[in-house]
Amino acid sequence: MNKNFIRSARALTLASATLLLAPSCTNIDLKPKYDLSADVVYKDAASYKLQLAKVYAGLAITGPGGPDASSGDIQGIDQGTSDYIRQYWSAQTLTTDEGVIAWGDPGVQDWHTMRWTPSGVLVRGLYSRLLYQITICNSYLQESTPDKLSSRGISSAESGNISAYRAEARFLRALSYYHLLDLYGNPPFADENFAIGTTSLPTQISRADLYNYIANELQLVTGDKSGSADLLKDIRTNEYGRADKGAAYALLAKMYLNGVTYAGASAAPTCYTNAATYAKKVVDGGYSLLPNDNTKSNRLGQSGYGKLFLADNHVNNPEVIFPVVFDGKLSQSYGGTTFLTHAAIYGTANSDWSPVPYGVGGGWGGIRATPSLFQQFPDTAADERGYFHTAGQSLNVTDLTKFENGYVPIKYRNITSAGVAGSDPTFVDTDYPMFRLADMYLTYAEAVSRGGTGDANLALTYVNIVRNRAFRGQPGGTAGAVTAATLTANNYQFFLDERSRELYWEATRRTDLIRFGQFTKNYKNPSAGYQVLPWQWKGGASINGADVADNLQLFPIPSSELSINTNLKQNTGY
């Protein structure tokens, strides 16, 4: 596989004369601007693919001027910080036991201490990035209607290809709406039929209604529900880095697994049946876990798990369902995997650290984990996912601002499985796995265990496929196997813990903790004698951590947005 599509996106970013620009603010009611007229930008069928590349690039690139420009697509926030993956990862990880950060930039410490406010720059920056992405998706869809194609002389054969492009844009819009659903709950809503560029303001959509909208939209573009001419390509048949039915099924599975969070208790058990159904569609689509090379050590990145996060993770990778593509020369930003690699390395010369095994020129000294993540791995020698830098680091985070406090997961690296450094010492080649197969195995198993219709024996099999790979048994070994009783013990606590072991630093933890009722409150099960303690600095009052208010399960609508759009109401508790 190659990264030709992201090269198109990079070319678009540099060639502003053909670049589709969306507003550099939070409004989805403002008309996107073009350096040239839309009829010139969309002059032929090839232009539609180039502009679709720009829509994908919104997940990886921060602006048309390059990473060192004074500003990017989103105003009022440092351009490097404004990256989609960097912001989403921070909101999902630094708010939990999986991550702390040493820096003192405005709002950065608020993530972990859970003291964010409606006026916070990072709360607004993430919200703006999500709305920006939705805006460029809507604009693309408005410019690719059958009437527009006909008026521009696009042939019927070419229109068929563009219809598939439209399905991808609709998937990307659904992805960003899903992130708004999960993070902010009740955002403003606009689709391609909204009359942008007028005095009209988008209305607010309820969380339950947005949940249903996303499900309906994804079912339409996969053909699971009739009524759409825009259909995604079949599983594993699209160009690398682009969405197909597998990506849509994975998003549906993840959303339905959290259906009770989004739509209330009445969503169960149907939401769990749906989660199991769509997860199995992915599993049956021809994906497989990257196998281990049992002659080598994971410490060299040679296990199947270790290879997932290296600079050549785009090559012959049957496990990743939907990646966000990065290239050290062609899609440069200070977010994405560049952030995840550099920020997890000591920032200055230190005898305990060398940037060479990471394939970069140096570190930024930022992100680490609390002891809670390290303690998920009772045997780090056996479970090779538990790979931490501990030399010169303390287990306990006695000071959030000191990088030496906290063990550091070794996960994302700018080095290939052959040990060759990436193409650039600053900007990383490693792709970010937004959805991958192991998540679908665990999603199916948890959904069935929670009462969804499915096969309990198959659920156990799926769990053990994941665990046996981690314990170097795959294929054929059983070193990591658990029993059926494990899956339901302590109110399914196994799944929360196993998801942390498998998916840490992949932006799933906050959502998972909320589903299990452990994000804002300690978990106690007195009848089983089981208790989960708060992670260090939860709530910010002390190193011991403490419960926080339940309203923090949603981030606030930014004050700047409320001042612009009077149709919006603030989330409860802010």
Q: How far apart are CA 373 and CA 378, in angstroms?
A: 10
What is the per-residue pLDDT for 60? 95
Q: 446-450, long-range: CB within 8 Å, 24+ apart, which pairs?
A: 446/257, 446/275, 446/492, 446/495, 447/253, 447/256, 447/257, 447/272, 447/273, 447/275, 447/276, 447/279, 448/272, 448/276, 449/487, 449/488, 449/492, 449/495, 450/268, 450/269, 450/272, 450/492
What is the per-residue pLDDT for 198? 61
Helix, strand and coil content of the chain, in percent to the nearest 5, comes to 40, 5, 50
What is the per-residue pLDDT for 85? 98
pLDDT tens over the chain, length 574 residues:
566 665 555 444 433 223 333 333 445 544 444 456 787 889 888 999 999 999 999 999 998 888 988 888 998 999 999 999 999 999 999 999 999 999 999 999 999 999 999 999 999 999 999 999 999 999 999 999 999 999 999 999 999 999 999 999 999 999 999 999 999 999 999 999 987 666 688 999 999 999 999 999 999 999 999 999 999 999 999 999 999 999 999 999 999 999 999 999 999 999 999 999 999 999 999 999 998 876 655 555 568 899 999 999 999 999 999 999 999 998 899 999 999 999 999 987 677 788 999 999 999 999 999 999 999 998 777 888 999 999 999 999 999 999 999 999 999 999 999 899 999 999 999 999 999 999 999 999 999 999 999 999 999 999 999 999 998 776 677 889 999 999 998 889 999 999 999 999 999 999 999 999 999 998 777 766 778 889 999 999 999 999 999 999 999 999 999 999 999 999 999 9
Q: Token pair 């410019």 is at which residue? A: 143
What is the per-residue pLDDT for 474? 64
What is the per-residue pLDDT for 14? 34
What is the per-residue pLDDT for 71? 82
Q: Where are the alpha helices (DSSP H) in 78-206?
A: 84-93, 108-113, 121-142, 146-151, 156-183
pLDDT in tens, 249-279: 999 999 999 999 999 999 999 999 999 999 9
The partner residues of 388 in beta bridges, in order of sequence, read 409
Identify the CA nearest to 67 among candidates 79, 51, 52: 79
- The token duo for 2 is 């190659």
pLDDT in tens, 323-350: 999 999 988 999 999 999 999 999 876 7
- The token duo for 29 is 């009611």
What is the per-residue pLDDT for 293? 74
- Total length of the chain: 574
Q: Where are the alpha helices (DSSP H) in 330-483?
A: 336-342, 371-374, 437-449, 456-470
Contacts of 556 by beta carbon, 8 Å cutoff, 6+ apart? 116, 117, 118, 123, 184, 570, 571, 574
Q: How far apart are CA 377 and CA 387, in angstroms?
A: 9
